[in-house]
A and B are shown apart, each in its own frame.
Chain A
Amino acid sequence: MNILLIDNDDSFTRNLEHLLAASVPGATVEVTPYARLKDADLEARDLLVISPGPGAPSEYLGYDRVFSAEKPILGVCLGMQIVNERFGGLTGRLHGCVHGKTDTLFMDGAEHVVARYHSLHVTEPGAGLDVLAANRDGIVMCMGSRTQRVIGCQFHPESFLSRDGGWFIDFALDYLGLR
């Protein structure tokens, strides 16, 4: 599988690269900075991944060609919020923001300990996106659309605090019809 990982100048992108390489046997993972996204070859890719990063989705206006490429998309943290806003959803400040802490989610028939790093959150899901998981406070933790082949998670599967981030990559590949 040929994966392009778009780095929004985040400091966890390489962790995500290593998680993808470990979770998708035989995958090649190329990392490209957001600043060079306009020159990136999207055609040959099986999966486009939007990394976490600082700031809000409104600061990242260069994703048009990613959403027009008709490729499956996985967004993590800011990446999920970017997907959500593309579908008309909204983002706002999270009361009591959470950084470097774990949460327990019930998803895909099991409990999962996952890491959270975010000051912002999805306040209104975009049209056609299904909320696939929320935490006990109702904060959206995973959302996507099977038909549009997009999925995102607010938590960080690549963090060492996530007990087994690989399960989510498996889940996302199934959801996007890539396995």
Chain B
Amino acid sequence: MTSLSTISVSASRKRFDRFAGELARTQGADMLLSTDGFPAQTESLVGVEPVAELIFTDKTTPDNAKAFCFGTPGPTFGFISYDFGMLLRGVGSAKKRGGPLGHLRKYAATIKFDNGAARIQARSASLARDLAAALERTPDADSAPAMPAFPETPPTASLDRAGYEAGVRETLERILSGHTYQLNLSTRFSRRCPGLDPLALLLTLRRRHPAPFYAWFSSGPRRILSTSPERFLRVSDGQILSQPIKGTARLEGDRTVAENLLKSSDKESAELSMIVDLIRNDISANSEYGSVRVENHKSVFAVDNLLQMYSDVRGTLRADRDCLDLFFDAFPGGSITGCPKKRSMEIIEELEPHTRNVYCGAMAVIRDRRNMDSSIAIRTAIFDVETEFLDFFAGSGIVVDSDPAKEYLETLAKAEKFLSLEKT
């Protein structure tokens, strides 16, 4: 097995971010960029010069992913689609899929950044040295990415207001008949954006709307732009952390008042509690008995001009299991399916005219058998450089006391940073 050369360089977040953006621009690097100060803050990662990739088809198994991730040293980065989760959970679909079911890469070099230090791991000492030197030469200042080109046409929606509200009403009927307790319904907005510079768009959004799980990944002609605030599963030396988000309020007026209103809402609290019980369930399959616990229930943070409620769900990975056993048994994340998971996914498949693909899947960094981190790929767009279509998605969790009109407005609020480009 090849050993890796490692160099550590101290750097400010600004310098690292600028360096990462330049590597993405000039060398086609993939990246996960975190932001400090969020409960789901993570280590940033840049992957340079792909040396191997695993493109998921409907024949790919979790064991194939394990062999790919654990067979050679160094981190793996990429996405696993919601549609692959449908296969895992035995939920069928006749819809045409819009891309691979997942895409993972290994790189000649990766750069990890956290707490003012960049750690470069490369398959050759000279590549590690070159990257360290390039990082040190990078100005310690924000870059000013070119403004994205403005779209010339308004977006079309797979579920427009009337369609979405009808979907909510149908979901309520399914809730009353006992088939689901909560269901996450989404809509897809598509917009032709000729000449769009998707990397500039992502970097501009990140400066304006920071969040802990920004990701950039190239998959064939598709560029994935993920601006997620939500952690799916982290495993650190076998310690599991999931941080499901449920409960949303506009961040306006006095923050303390708005936060207290959110936390005291029976509806929003029930939404979160259901998903916390589901996440407890999903990590329990691979956790030591007695280790699964809930901490910081109903905590709140602000992102995208919204207040979001979340909880920490923790456990200890069983000694005979690895992080991908945990990942694939729990995938896709409960906060974007609803509960119970399988029946809710079947209803989603019936009610949504689009495929979710990367949206509601996960961006994941897999380091070894007992270390990984992953997002829930919400607030996520896909830009196809051939068709020049930008697809972005938004959804909301429907519970028995949901109001169809309010749920539609919640989806618009979540899509706003991609919808309101022309205003920025």
Q: Mark A113-155, 1 if CB is under 8 A from B, else 0.
A: 0010111100000000000000000000000000000000000
Interchain CB contact under 8 A, A100 and B340: no
User: Can you add 4 more A-B contacts, CB < 8 Å, to A11-B340, A17-B284?
Assistant: A12-B278, A18-B292, A115-B273, A117-B277
Chain A: minimal CB distance from B336 (Å): 13
Checking B178, B280, B297 against A54 with a beta-carbon cut-off of 8 angstroms, the contacting residue is B178
Interchain CB contact under 8 A, A101 and B266: yes
Contacts known (A12-B278, A13-B281, A160-B276); A55 close to B343, Cβ less than 8 A:
yes
List chain B positions with a Cβ less than 8 A from chain A: 175-182, 266, 269-274, 276-278, 280-282, 284-285, 287, 289-290, 292, 294, 297, 334, 339-343, 399-400
Checking A9, A21, A55, A160 against B277 with a beta-carbon cut-off of 8 angstroms, the contacting residue is A160
Q: Mark A10-25, 1 if CB is under 8 A from B, else 0.
A: 1111110110011000
In the complex, which of the residues A11, A12, A120 has the most CB atoms of chain B within 10 Å of its own CB atom? A11
Chain A: minimal CB distance from B148 (Å): 40
Contacts of A15 in B (CB 8 A): 277, 280-281, 284, 292
Interchain CB contact under 8 A, B178 and A55: yes
Cβ of A163 within 8 Å of any chain B Cβ, yes or no, is no
Chain B: minimal CB distance from A118 (Å): 7
Contacts of A89 in B (CB 8 A): none
A-B contact pairs, 18 of them (CB 8 A): A9-B340, A10-B340, A11-B282, A12-B340, A14-B285, A15-B281, A18-B292, A55-B179, A56-B177, A97-B176, A99-B270, A100-B277, A119-B176, A119-B400, A160-B273, A160-B276, A160-B294, A161-B277
Interchain CA distance A159-B341 in the complex, whole Å: 16
Interchain CA distance A11-B280 in the complex, whole Å: 9
Q: How large is the interface on A (under 10, 10 to 19, 20 to 34, 35 or more residues)?
A: 20 to 34
Chain A: minimal CB distance from B373 (Å): 22
Chain A: minimal CB distance from B297 (Å): 8
Interchain CB contact under 8 A, B270 and A101: yes
Interchain CB contact under 8 A, A100 and B175: no
Interchain CB contact under 8 A, A117 and B274: yes
Interchain CB contact under 8 A, B177 and A11: no
Interchain CB contact under 8 A, A9 and B273: no
Interchain CA distance A140-B17 in the complex, whole Å: 59
Chain A: minimal CB distance from B396 (Å): 16
Cβ of A65 within 8 Å of any chain B Cβ, yes or no, is no
Measured CB to CB, the nearest residue on chain B to A8 is B340
Contacts of B272 in A (CB 8 A): 100
Cβ of A93 within 8 Å of any chain B Cβ, yes or no, is yes
Checking A10, A53, A99, A118 against B399 with a beta-carbon cut-off of 8 angstroms, the contacting residue is A99
> Which positions 29-88 of chain A face chain B at CB distance < 8 Å?
52-56, 78
Contacts of A78 in B (CB 8 A): 178
Contacts known (A11-B341, A18-B292); A99 close to B281, Cβ less than 8 A:
no
